[in-house]
Amino acid sequence: MELKNLEVWFITGSQHLYGEAALQKIAANSRCVVEGLNASGRLPMRVVFKALVTTPQSILDVCREANASSRCAGLAFWMHTFSPAKMWIAGLTALQKPFVHLHTQFNRDLPWSTIDMDFMNLNQAAHGDREFGFICTRMRKPRKVIVGHWQDPEVLDRLAAWQRSAAGLQEIRSLKVARIGDNMRQVAVTEGDKVEAQMRLGVEVNGYGIGDVVRRIAEVSDADAESLAAEYGSLYALAPELRPGGNKLSALLCAARTELGLRHFLEEGGFKAFTDTFEDLHGLEQLPGVAVQRLMADGYGFGAEGDWKTAALGRVMKVMGEGLPGGTSFMEDYTYHLDAAAPLVLGAHMLEICPSLAAEKPSCEIHPLGIGGKADPVRLAFTAPAGPAVNVAVIDMGDRFRILVNEVDVVSPPQSLPKLPVARAFWRPRPDLKTAAACWIYAGGPHHTVLSQAVATEQIEDLAEMLGVECVKIDGRSATSETKNQLRWNEAYFMAR
């Protein structure tokens, strides 16, 4: 998708007090750090040493240049020496890109036997970075502070997480969501303020009639539909009735035609996310199943029943997780196994779960839906593999957006489910189902989420920081009473802002 095309600009702060020779050494050390970061193999995005800045004007210039650069996803600041921070006010005021404050120093160890005052004067991040940190805090600048030696794998991993969030921010700032049909009637949590979303998050959400898609579907040639149906046959285990000569082959061709028409519609409009609703399917024979699933696997965000917030989040998390193992999908907390000894959530949807979550070859099946009054839809069925994951959601609190994250552990189903013909995942929420579900419900969390086995909590928190959006985390250490208090405090904080 995008990560390899983006850059982080590395800016080292200093001042003229130390003399030209010291500044040359600082620039050389900065280049060495940047080369080391890039050579680590742990960062998804390239770091570029952009400037050693020593004056207010040079700081302002590089911040303005960053604002104007479409390749620059964010900046990393490091004060190798002391850099009086009033020099940074104009630049930080102008800066519109996210930044990380890398609180590191060139040498890992104290050179015990040789350390002298020259060394002390050159390696001052321990106090220079505090001066920079003060002005960031004084100016209420959102940022991420990463502490440790630049070769420390943990430092690199925290920087990598932030880079992925910066890519997510870049994506949401230019994202267009096609809302095909309106909301599922009377549903509250999928509604929200689309004007505020565009102002605060950048995402543009616009409505389209289902007829716009129906027309694209009608334009698909028989040859193209047959060719795509054959591709389904090569990629998935086709149910017998969907194979050539089978009595439901026409339904498979209809599904393939739907995918092509929907894909053309999205490509023409530059949409990277979309919603539909089974209450507005006029002119479609089936609720789109395999079509939506395969579009998600290609990186599109999706939300069912008009859920544009989850669709946008899904696309952003696809970008953030690019290249990482594990899938990312639209998801719904569907039903529970409430055995007190081993409770589980069964996550699924009517059809639309992304096959990026599938560990094995999905089966392509056709079954009645029992809802929506349309022909039997074709869908991919599979079970998500065991492993850690996050369930993430965005809700509109009326005065602000809230992002919710629940860390979960996807598990293998303890028994087979021979009569359940949909893609699904089973998970144990952390810290436990009772606490997690209570916290989620107190926080106003929706039934729709994006489940990801690629994206981690830290990336979501970093993204929320960049967006200035509330982020509530439910993890292995959460307790219901503390989460309730956090929600109350957040309410006061965001009201006061």
Other CB atoms within 10 Å distance of the CB of residue 490: 17
CB of 459 to Mn ion, least distance (A): 25
Closer CB to Mn ion, residue 252 or residue 304? 304
**353 is an interface residue for Mn ion by CB under 5 A:** no
Q: Which stretch binds Mn ion (CB under 5 A): 6-14, 74-82, 123-131, 297-305?
A: 297-305
From the number of C-beta atoms within 10 Å of its C-beta (0-12, 13-18, 19+), residue 96 rates as exposed
Measured from the CB atom, the residue of 332 and 470 that comes closer to Mn ion is 332
Q: Are 7 and 72 in contact (CB under 8 A)?
A: yes
Cβ 448 to Mn ion, closest distance in Å? 6
Site track for Mn ion across 404-443, x = CB under 5 A: ----------------------------------------
CB of 304 to Mn ion, least distance (A): 5
Q: At closest approach, how far in Å is the CB of 483 from Mn ion?
A: 25
- Using the rule CB under 5 A, is 304 a contact of Mn ion? yes
Query: Minimum CB separation from Mn ion for residue 141, in Å?
Result: 38
Q: The tokens of 263 are what?
A: 């894909």
Contact region for Mn ion (CB under 5 A) — 201-209, 303-311, 413-421, 426-434?
A: 303-311
Give the shortest CB-385-to-Mn ion separation in angstroms.
23
Task: Specify the residue, 304 or 466, whose C-beta has the smaller distance to Mn ion.
Answer: 304
Stretch that binds Mn ion, among 151-159, 205-213, 302-310, 479-487 (CB under 5 A): 302-310
- β-pairing verdict for 301-303 and 387-396: unpaired
- Cβ of residue 305: shortest distance to Mn ion, in angstroms? 5
Name the minimum Å distance from CB 351 to Mn ion. 10
CB 276 within 8 A of CB 181: yes
Query: CA 78, CA 14: separation in Å to the nearest integer?
Result: 9
In this complex, which beta carbon is closest to Mn ion, that of residue 56 or of residue 372?
A: 372
220/304 with CB nearer Mn ion: 304
Strands 7-13, 72-79: pairing is parallel
x/- letters, 17..46, toward Mn ion (CB under 5 A): ------------------------------
Q: How far apart are CA 279 and CA 255, in angstroms?
A: 18
Give me the least distance between CB of 178 and Mn ion, in Å please: 18
The residue with its CB nearest to Mn ion is: 304
Nearer to Mn ion, 332 or 365 (CB): 332
Determine, following the binding rule CB under 5 A, whether residue 351 of this chain makes contact with Mn ion: no
Q: Which is nearer to Mn ion, 131 or 182 (CB)?
A: 182
* Residues that contact Mn ion, how many (by CB under 5 A): 2
**Residue 51 or residue 287: which is nearer to Mn ion going by CB?**
287
Which one, 171 or 352, has the nearer CB to Mn ion? 352
| Closer residue to Mn ion in complex, CB, 279/491 | 279
Query: Within 106-145, which residues bind Mn ion (CB under 5 A)?
Result: none
Taking residues 184 to 213 in sequence order and writing x for each that binds Mn ion by CB under 5 A, - otherwise, the string is: ------------------------------
CB of 175 to Mn ion, least distance (A): 21
Residue number with CB closer to Mn ion (76 or 395): 395
Shortest spacing between CB 330 and Mn ion, in angstroms? 9
Site string for Mn ion, 250-289 (x = CB under 5 A): ----------------------------------------
Question: What is the footprint of Mn ion within residues 308-337 (CB under 5 A)?
Answer: 332
Q: Which CB sits closer to Mn ion, 47 or 304?
A: 304
Strand order of the β-sheet with 176-180 is 204-208, 176-180, 273-275, 301-303
- Given the rule CB under 5 A, which residues bind Mn ion? 304, 332
